Structure 1
Amino acid sequence: MLTTRKSKERGHADHGWLNSYHTFSFANYHDSAHMGYRSLRVINEDRVAEGRGFGAHAHRDMEILSYVLKGKLAHKDSMGHVEVLGPNEIQKMSAGSGVVHSEFNGSETEPVHFLQIWIEPKSRGTAPSYEQLKFEAEEKLNRFKLLASPKPVEGAATINQDTSVSVAELTPGSRLTYPLESKRHAWLHVIHGEVTVNGKTLQSGDAVAADEEEALEVVGQGAENSEVLLFDLA
């Protein structure tokens, strides 16, 4: 069974310096029908103006992933990490027992466009941790590139949950099949472009939940490349 979540149905907040779309309930946007999906709690599509950002604030017991689409994201945290994240990188922060961090646009002249993802952990109170991994654009071209995994995998971040996260960029007409094991679920988010998923047409910002499906067949549509983010969930 496939359940579609259309981009236009997402929550939206425009603060001037921050333009944000919320797939699930977040901050002042509340929709009891969209509180998350399985362990996936947040997908925020954020555009932050040059020189602006989120000041130091605390998190605990959450797996937080950031994926930059355009621009630079500057990160600083209480574990001592001071980093800049760009496209084709994955950043993971396991908040665990508690961490304080800030996220700012790393440029004074250009906005930054990124996805922030929260995944509920399988265990609480663990030691906080941080990973940032870069990959080549070719690694996601017409194939699924693993970004995060519950088990250590070279080139992917390790998260404290039975969830894996993959990204793929599809050229027009290309076809990818992602098999789902028994009793697994999937959430596919279209970062940009147009695809069909098991025959359903999705466009930028749209998403689909897959329950009791044996596989997802993703086909690139339109005249330009498309990019999708796939969550494989217990």
Structure 2
Amino acid sequence: MAKTILHKAATRGHANHGWLDSHHTFSFANYYNPERMQFGALRVLNDDIVAGSRGFDSHPHDNMEIISIPLEGALEHKDNLGNTVITKAGEIQVMSTGTGVFHSEYNANADKHASFLQIWLFPNQLNVAPRYDQATINIRERKNSLQQLISPDRNGEGTWIYQDAWFHMGRFDKNTSTEYAVRKQGNGVYLFVISGAFSVNGQLLESRDGYGIQDEQQFNITALEDNAEILVIDIPMFS
């Protein structure tokens, strides 16, 4: 029988630093909830809004796969690998931090905020050489279907990470349905509603709700509103 966990948007951790308004699905920084440490390999899912020209000063990471998905605006990324790049809505960036990397992340615009999802996964290989990658995604391809953003396949659609994980996003018209099949035996799936509302196997999910599913090989996703958008993260399960 499938095991599920529902994280309503209003139950997330929240920190407002003025320049940064951040909601934490899982324990992060000053938000600690022993029942929300991770979902399988998914360790962090932060929903961040960054004020114009503000951001995160250079800081270190290691042995984590870090994915940034801009939803509005643009982010300027700099790291000690020599990368200085701007990522905007419709693009994604990944870092395999491996043996260690320093990076900063700033809102690239002075006159408007930037909104993005910051997601951390535990890797399946430790102490790899750090890497940065960025991919442009044709968002038209997610109209009424799930578009692959990330996979373990170095030659696959989107980009890749050191984990048996698949990321998809879809934007759906009202009453449009799709079936999702889990990509690897033993994986679970975490769904995060970016906008609108969905029914997932009959469970109502509204904007910024999260929903984890284990021990289910296939399930139905139905949009309940026009232009509803969802992120689907297919990941290994372990405690």
| Equivalent residue, structure 1, for 2:15 | 13
CA deviation profile, 1:5-55 (whole Å, cap 9, x unmatched): 111110000011100000000000000000010000000000000010000
Whole-angstrom distance in 2 between the partners of 1:227 and 1:149: 20
Shift, 1:135, TM fit: 1.5
Whole-angstrom distance in 1 between the partners of 2:80 and 2:233: 28
Shift, 1:162, TM fit: 1.3
| Equivalent residue, structure 2, for 1:30 | 32
| Equivalent residue, structure 2, for 1:96 | 98
Whole-angstrom distance in 2 between the partners of 1:151 and 1:137: 20
- Contact 1:163 / 1:233 at 8 angstroms: preserved in 2? yes
AA in 2 matched with 1:200: Q
Q: Residue 197 of structure 1 is aligned with which of 197, 200, 215?
A: 200
Shift, 1:153, TM fit: 3.2
AA in 1 matched with 2:177: R
Task: Say yes or no: does 1:80 pair with 2:82.
Answer: yes
User: Which runs of no fewer than 5 residues in structure 2 stay unpaired?
Assistant: none
Moved over 4 A (4+): none
Task: Say yes or no: does 1:216 pair with 2:219.
Answer: yes
AA in 1 matched with 2:110: E
| Equivalent residue, structure 1, for 2:123 | 121
Whole-angstrom distance in 2 between the partners of 1:108 and 1:94: 29
Whole-angstrom distance in 2 between the partners of 1:21 and 1:57: 20
Q: Residue 230 of structure 2 is aligned with which of 223, 228, 231?
A: 228
Shift, 1:176, TM fit: 1.0
CA deviation profile, 1:121-148 (whole Å, cap 9, x unmatched): 1121100011100021111111111111
AA in 2 matched with 1:25: S
Whole-angstrom distance in 2 between the partners of 1:176 and 1:153: 25
- For residue 160 of structure 1, give the secondary structure of its aligned residue in structure 2: coil
User: Which runs of no fewer than 5 residues in structure 1 stay unpaired?
Assistant: none
Q: How many residues align?
A: 233
TM-score normalized by structure 1? 0.97
- Contact 2:65 / 2:96 at 8 angstroms: preserved in 1? yes
Whole-angstrom distance in 2 between the partners of 1:53 and 1:171: 34
CA deviation profile, 1:73-93 (whole Å, cap 9, x unmatched): 110111111111111111001
Identity of aligned residues (%): 38
1:59-78 to structure 2, matched below 5 A, reads 59-78=61-80
- For residue 138 of structure 1, give the secondary structure of its aligned residue in structure 2: helix
Whole-angstrom distance in 1 between the partners of 2:16 and 2:114: 15
Change (3 A) 1:25 1:93: same
CA RMSD of aligned residues (A): 1.0
- For residue 204 of structure 2, give the secondary structure of its aligned residue in structure 1: strand
Q: Which range moved further: 147-156 or 172-181?
A: 147-156
- Contact 1:94 / 1:160 at 8 angstroms: preserved in 2? yes
Whole-angstrom distance in 1 between the partners of 2:42 and 2:190: 9
Whole-angstrom distance in 1 between the partners of 2:187 and 2:46: 24
- For residue 172 of structure 1, give the secondary structure of its aligned residue in structure 2: coil
Whole-angstrom distance in 1 between the partners of 2:138 and 2:153: 22
Whole-angstrom distance in 2 between the partners of 1:126 and 1:227: 34
